[in-house]
């Protein structure tokens, strides 16, 4: 029997999902599955499609649980926004006329406005962050910058980086650790 929404710890459940706890995802589905289906069904008006949306939403919640940010809203709201956004996208992507009530129509329009705003905002934030990151990377010693880029862009192990640079493994590890500290301080 599902808990009442006030008794269920959504944030802890998302943390557990991010840590790979499959039982947490099962508990979340048992707690909210019927209501999530209702949200999707109210938007898309087709049960099979709504069920697919809830399935896709569960996969998204599972794979993106670590991206939940409590400073931007509640965990339960985040979960519902995943379902709502997938349902709204399904209506948009269908390219066909779907009869929706006025509330859903307003939600579609509001969602498109919010998404457009966030897209522009994220682009500016990303450009600003990339500019700061580039500046901070340029401030590192070239060998240390190479270590960081090999590790975090190329995906090389510390041993592979040591081999590429002809440097001792301990030195490479120290360079990466110190460089990350420098980058954090520079980006703050």
- Is the model more confident about 149 or about 8? 8
Q: Tens digits of per-residue pLDDT, 106-116? A: 776 777 666 66
Backbone angles phi, psi at 52, to 5 degrees: -60, -40
Residues 20, 45: Cα–Cα separation, whole Å: 33
* Contact call for residues 26 and 59 (beta carbons, < 8 A): no
Q: Tens digits of per-residue pLDDT, 5-57? A: 568 999 999 999 999 999 999 999 999 999 999 889 888 888 999 999 999 99
SS3 of residue 4 by DSSP: coil
Residue 85: pLDDT over 70: yes
Residue 120: pLDDT over 60: no
Mark residue 21 as left, alpha or beta (left: phi above 0; alpha: psi -120 to 50; beta: remaining): beta
Binning pLDDT at 50, 70 and 90, where does residue 183 land? confident
pLDDT for residue 95: 62
- Is the model more confident about 137 or about 67? 67
């Amino acid at each position: 029997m599902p808990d009442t929404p006030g008794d269920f710890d959504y944030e802890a459940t998302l943390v557990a999902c991010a840590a790979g706890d499959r039982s947490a995802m099962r508990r979340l589905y048992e707690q909210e599955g019927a209501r999530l289906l209702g949200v999707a069904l109210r938007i898309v008006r087709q049960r099979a499609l709504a069920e697919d949306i809830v399935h896709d939403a569960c996969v998204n919640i599972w794979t993106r649980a670590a991206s939940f940010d409590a400073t931007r809203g509640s965990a339960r709201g985040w979960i519902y926004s995943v379902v709502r956004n997938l349902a709204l996208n399904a209506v948009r992507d269908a390219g066909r006329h779907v009869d929706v009530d006025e509330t859903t129509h307003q939600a579609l329009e509001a969602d498109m406005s919010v998404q457009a705003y966030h897209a522009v905002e994220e682009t500016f934030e990303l450009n600003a962050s990339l500019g700061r990151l580039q500046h901070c990377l340029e401030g590192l010693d070239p060998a240390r910058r190479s270590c960081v880029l090999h590790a975090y862009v190329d995906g090389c192990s510390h041993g592979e980086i040591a081999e590429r640079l002809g440097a001792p493994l301990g030195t490479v590890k120290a360079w990466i650790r110190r460089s990350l500290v420098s980058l954090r301080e520079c980006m703050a």
